[in-house]
Amino acid sequence: MPWLSGICTLWLLGFVVLAQNFNVVSPQKNVIPAQNFNQRTGLKTDCLGSYMRLTVDKSLAFGSLVEFDVMNGSQIEPLTPSLASKCGFSIDSDPWGNYRVFASLFNCFAENEDDHLFDINMRVRVRGVKAEQDVFQVEKTCTHDQWAPREVLCDRNYMEVSVNRLPGEITAMRRQPKMAERQAKGDYQWPDTVSEAITSKYNIWRMVFFTPKQKAMVLEDALKAGYGVITTKSRLVLRSGFDMPETYVENVNGIPMKVIKVTTYFKRQWSVTMLDTVAACPVGGLSFTDEMITWYFPRVNPLMTSTEANILGMFMGIDGSQIDSAQMATRGYILTIEGNNIVMKIPIGGPDGYYKSHAVDNQYNIRYYIEPMLQLLWSEGGMDSTKYRVLFPIKTPFMPRPPQFVDLTDVDKRMFDVILGPFLYDVELVNITFSAGVLTLAEANVRGFNIQEQRFQNGSKAFRLQVPFSDSFVVRTQTDLLLTVYNLRLVYGFMIFPESISFSYIATVDVTLQDITLPTVGGSCDKEKFYITISYGNLGKNFNIMLGKRDLTPDLSAEYDIKENVSHMSLVVPFLAFDVAFELMYPSSLRARLDVLLWEPVNKWTLSDFSLACNFPMTMTECFSNGSMSALAVKVESVPQLNPSQLTLRDHSCRPKFSNDRFAYFSYDANGCGTTRKFYDGVMMYQNEIILGNGPPVYQQGKSGVTTLPPDPEYRVTVSCFYTLNDTQTIAFFTKPRENEPLPETGFGELHVVLRLALDGSYNNFYAEEDYPVVQYLRSPLFFEVVLLRSTDPQIELVLESCWATLKEDRISTPRWDLIVDGCVNLADNYETIFHPVTPGGVPYPSHVKHFEIKMFTFVQNHVMLQDQIYVHCDAVLCDANQNDGICKRLCPSPIPLKTGNKVRRDATNDQNQKAQLSTGKILLSAS
Ligand SMILES: *[C@@H]1O[C@H](CO)[C@@H](O)[C@H](O)[C@H]1NC(C)=O
Ligand SMILES: *[C@@H]1O[C@H](CO)[C@@H](O)[C@H](O)[C@H]1NC(C)=O
Ligand SMILES: *[C@@H]1O[C@H](CO)[C@@H](O)[C@H](O)[C@H]1NC(C)=O
Ligand SMILES: *[C@@H]1O[C@H](CO)[C@@H](O)[C@H](O)[C@H]1NC(C)=O
Ligand SMILES: *[C@@H]1O[C@H](CO)[C@@H](O)[C@H](O)[C@H]1NC(C)=O
Ligand SMILES: *[C@@H]1O[C@H](CO)[C@@H](O)[C@H](O)[C@H]1NC(C)=O
């Protein structure tokens, strides 16, 4: 091991940065005129002690890519990261595109004049969108001659140490004893002029790196490995990137420091000189609270050979420039010594730094960035002093800033109104994903969503979005019959610029409103159809329609004449349509009902339940005067199982003439099919029943021995034809098993009983209506016939209850003369009324006919003939041929002439309607 030659250099106490902003910047080729170049281009250079700062303003680049070149003489070298850390450059930019380049004055390419004047040549290239680029040349001369014996610079990407390589005389003297030793060995030469020479670059024999194990390299290998080693007129400069293999981390008071430690051996002839170069730069020591950054730096650091080192100066800077205590105070910066540490405190959020957005696991975070500088000057006794500078970019840890989602929705305006924020300046809203799709901002605004960016005073912003409830992107859910939930689900798509990092934010906003107008149904009927109108309410046609028991399908729309517009639907349903239910049968009408149910298909809610029942005229029973009858049986909804084809009359062999699944039509005669006949008070009623043809009702013997009726048959319609003498009444009793509403109704038919005057006693020819007045001689016979026309029922007997003559046409006028009273000839009549028997041979139904004869007479009052005319009237009733009481079987006394002027008024029956009231036309007495 050669003997050591430590070097102690001249020291400078205090250092003044002699910096003049003396920029020489000229355009290289295309764009920029020479004058006022700085302002126009936004390029600025500052000499800041041992380095130069080049600032490229964002206005120069407008977000384009900016690249830097260095000039190695006339050669242009792109400034790559490895070249930068090897050669003493660092580049940094902020989100706006402002660049800050630091160049050590001892960088590889500076033209160094006596370690006093440094010329730095660089180029700035701005690459535009089209491959064109603008190139600016930057030339700067910095003057700096206040070099401390040792200067350490911790830049962002490298550590640099420079030491005075020219040992002063004192040093040489001090080392003399050792040199004397060497001299004694014969290899000593008094270093009068050799100092300069021996520590020159060309004498570098080897370099020993402490990692902390020793590792020796020759200069060439060290340069090849990426270390920067240069000698200047007075100094040896060593530069190393932070991640070079021969660096190591040393923990100092818990603060990690990166160390590069090299001893350089210079050898010339017999002499070896060594220079120690050590740089140690902090790579930690930060602690953060929400408001404050605290940076701890060890007061005693590996660069100090003893703990006695005396700190002579301690300064703070920002972005590479030193600031004074007044500036520090306004910003709230603090720089103190606390115990073993130098402590710098920086409030988070100050204007010297900036915030930046980050997406961390898709969560919104921000960070605060600031680049303080710490500058120390210490001396370790005697004249050794070190000037130490750290450019220390700090970024706080990620600070989660979940944005606030503020719901300002105005229900009255039916508009979602939400604000999301705050976000930093560098966040842009790119798109919004709705449940139905994605819209870019522009698309959303076109759609009317009114997206606004709101700015706060501090530059933060928030995004406001308005979406009408009515938009189809709003999901509407009906939670019950009347409540609607309007739901807006949003995924905001954000992008952080300039890095183009995206993140998203999911938000949901709900409004529940009772704003549903349910659809309604209305309707009316005429004689044939139901007219239904459905009004949709405010949800449109979101319901299904059930008519009766069926859903209304599109195929039925023609059948029911469905018409629709945006708000209404109408349909017309004939009363015999399949979907109509029959409630009740009446003799001449059918009560039919249409049920309309509106229901919501998803939740099966009933929205409207409407029924309309009307009576539709319909002939159910017809009673013909010849005794034929027809009846229609209808399947009513209370007997759902009924098969109409199985219906019969009482006589089960009498089946429907026609049937389908809802109707059975019967046609039968009074004489057949089990039709019964009833007479009472001159009224005749035919009756039959329509029943299920499963055998006649039978009486059963119950267990108790009591006779009980079997349960009512399921279906029984009693059909009655009800005849009085000149009209027919039909009555259909519908007997239902359980209902309380068998409603008989009466319909009217025709039955003709006539009173007519025969030409003679043969009763073959009769006067017609137009023959009246008929003229007859006094006491000549008048032959009257009363006949029930058309009926074919032999069981009916026509009975004349009374006949009389009047002077006037009015049948109840006076004077009047009784001819037949209570079915018998008027015994008081002088001119006897004569009944003539009707022989079976002459007419088909003799019991339907009565013949009687009177003699023409006139009314006389006080022996004065009143007028020469009469009218004849009869009341006739129908009787059962087998009946034996009342007028029908009255036995008349033998015709004994009784002289009496009293006319007998009898009230055979009070009910005039049950009699045929018959009258002739005028019969005139022949004047001749
Ligand atoms: C500068 O150019 C010279 C000559 O071309 C070359 O030898 C030297 O390595 C270059 N310097 C650097 C740092 O690239
Ligand atoms: C900016 O101002 C807004 C509104 O006053 C606030 O919510 C937000 O936190 C501020 N942002 C910063 C970074 O201070
Ligand atoms: C919406 O924007 C975000 C953020 O930029 C992006 O990641 C996403 O792909 C976009 N979505 C669509 C569908 O374009
Ligand atoms: C739709 O039809 C209904 C009833 O037919 C009518 O009252 C209404 O005015 C119509 N509406 C439109 C928009 O045509
Ligand atoms: C009775 O009259 C009706 C209607 O005129 C007719 O259809 C029917 O055949 C007649 N019945 C008889 C038995 O003549
Ligand atoms: C009987 O028939 C005649 C003629 O058709 C009519 O004028 C009269 O009102 C009827 N009588 C009754 C009680 O219906």
Is 90 exceeded by the pLDDT of residue 580?
A: yes
Answer with the one of 344, 375, 401 that is the final residue of a domain.
Answer: 401
pLDDT, tens digit, 9 for 90 and up, residues 237-260:
999 999 999 999 999 989 999 999
Same domain (yes/no): 383, 247: no
How far does CA 415 lie from the centroid of its chain? 14
Full residue range of the structural domain in which residue 645 is found: 621-734
pLDDT at 9: 28
pLDDT at 888: 65
How far does CA 427 lie from the centroid of its chain? 29
Is 90 exceeded by the pLDDT of residue 215?
A: yes
| Assigned token pair, 245 | 């293999």
Nearest-ligand number for the alpha carbon of 82 = 1
Reported confidence tier of residue 485, pLDDT bands at 50, 70, 90: very high
pLDDT at 198: 77
Nearest-ligand number for the alpha carbon of 460 = 2
pLDDT at 537: 86
Average pLDDT, the chain: 82
Same domain (yes/no): 891, 818: yes
pLDDT, tens digit, 9 for 90 and up, residues 348-402:
999 999 999 999 999 999 999 999 999 999 998 766 789 999 999 999 999 999 9
Answer with the one of 246, 261, 283 that is the final residue of a domain.
Answer: 283
Would residue 94 count as lying in a domain? Answer: yes
What amino acid occupies position 594?
Answer: L
pLDDT at 146: 86
CATH number assigned to the domain comprising residue 645: 2.60.40.3210
How far does CA 366 lie from the centroid of its chain? 35
Tokens 């023959």 belong to 771
Same domain (yes/no): 85, 201: no
Is 50 exceeded by the pLDDT of residue 743?
A: no
Nearest CA to 787 among 853, 876, 919?
Answer: 876
Number of domains making up the chain: 7
Alpha helices in 605-686 (DSSP H): none
CATH number assigned to the domain comprising residue 526: 2.60.40
| Assigned token pair, 874 | 């009869």
Cα-to-centroid distance, 882 and ligand 4 (Å): 68
Binding site membership of 108 for ligand 1 (Cβ less than 6 Å): yes
pLDDT at 408: 94
For residue 495, which atom of ligand 3 is closest to its CA?
Answer: 5
Binding site membership of 107 for ligand 6 (Cβ less than 6 Å): no
Q: Return the higher-pLDDT residue of 625 and 566.
A: 566
Same domain (yes/no): 487, 568: no
- What is the distance between the alpha carbons of residues 43 and 136, in angstroms, rounded to a whole number? 9
pLDDT at 694: 60
Cα maximum dimension of the chain: 208
Binding site membership of 454 for ligand 2 (Cβ less than 6 Å): no
Give the bridge partners for 17, in sequence order: none
Binding site membership of 460 for ligand 5 (Cβ less than 6 Å): no
Would residue 506 count as lying in a domain? Answer: yes
Please say whether the beta carbons of 359 and 500 come within 8 A.
no
Same domain (yes/no): 188, 153: yes
Q: Which residues line ligand 3 (CB under 6 A)?
A: 430-431, 438, 493-495, 502
Same domain (yes/no): 289, 259: no
Nearest-ligand number for the alpha carbon of 751 = 6
- What is the distance between the alpha carbons of residues 325 and 319, in angstroms, rounded to a whole number? 16
Would residue 686 count as lying in a domain? Answer: yes
- What is the distance between the alpha carbons of residues 269 and 256, in angstroms, rounded to a whole number? 41
Binding site membership of 624 for ligand 5 (Cβ less than 6 Å): yes
- What is the distance between the alpha carbons of residues 823 and 804, in angstroms, rounded to a whole number? 12
Nearest CA to 876 among 907, 850, 895?
Answer: 850
Burial 281-301 (b: 16+ CB within 10 A, else e): bbeebbebeeeebbbbbbbbb
Would residue 232 count as lying in a domain? Answer: yes
pLDDT at 268: 82
Query: Region 179-206: what's the mean pLDDT?
Result: 57
Please say whether the beta carbons of 356 and 248 come within 8 A.
no
Same domain (yes/no): 52, 73: yes
pLDDT at 185: 45
Cα-to-centroid distance, 397 and ligand 2 (Å): 18
Same domain (yes/no): 592, 678: no
Name the percent of the chain in helix, strand, coil, to the closest 5: 10, 50, 40
Would residue 739 count as lying in a domain? Answer: no
Would residue 744 count as lying in a domain? Answer: no
Same domain (yes/no): 458, 358: no
Nearest CA to 734 among 653, 643, 670, 638?
Answer: 638
pLDDT, tens digit, 9 for 90 and up, residues 774-820:
998 888 899 999 988 878 888 788 888 889 999 899 988 888 888 99
Reported confidence tier of residue 541, pLDDT bands at 50, 70, 90: confident
CA-nearest residue, atom 8 of ligand 6 = 726
pLDDT, tens digit, 9 for 90 and up, residues 637-648:
888 888 899 899
Same domain (yes/no): 469, 602: no
Would residue 387 count as lying in a domain? Answer: yes
Same domain (yes/no): 629, 602: no
Binding site membership of 913 for ligand 6 (Cβ less than 6 Å): yes
pLDDT at 47: 95
| Assigned token pair, 526 | 């005429």
Is 80 exceeded by the pLDDT of residue 884?
A: no
Cα-to-centroid distance, 764 and ligand 5 (Å): 24
Burial (CB count within 10 angstroms: exposed 0-12, middle 13-18, buried 19+), residue 89: buried
| Assigned token pair, 694 | 């499963």
Query: Region 330-346: what's the mean pLDDT?
Result: 95
What amino acid occupies position 869?
Answer: Q
Please say whether the beta carbons of 439 and 401 come within 8 A.
no
Please say whether the beta carbons of 102 and 93 come within 8 A.
no
CA-nearest residue, atom 7 of ligand 4 = 568
Nearest-ligand number for the alpha carbon of 793 = 5
Would residue 723 count as lying in a domain? Answer: yes
pLDDT, tens digit, 9 for 90 and up, residues 499-509:
899 999 999 99
Same domain (yes/no): 416, 388: no
- What is the distance between the alpha carbons of residues 49 and 321, in angstroms, rounded to a whole number? 9
CA-nearest residue, atom 6 of ligand 1 = 72
Nearest CA to 513 among 369, 410, 631?
Answer: 410
Cα-to-centroid distance, 566 and ligand 4 (Å): 7
Answer with the one of 351, 372, 401 that is the final residue of a domain.
Answer: 401
CATH number assigned to the domain comprising residue 830: 2.60.40.4100
The percentage of the chain sitting over the pLDDT mark of 90, rounded to a whole number, equals 47
For residue 566, which atom of ligand 4 is closest to its CA?
Answer: 13
Strands (E), 469-554: 475-478, 484-496, 501-513, 520-525, 529-535, 544-547, 550-551
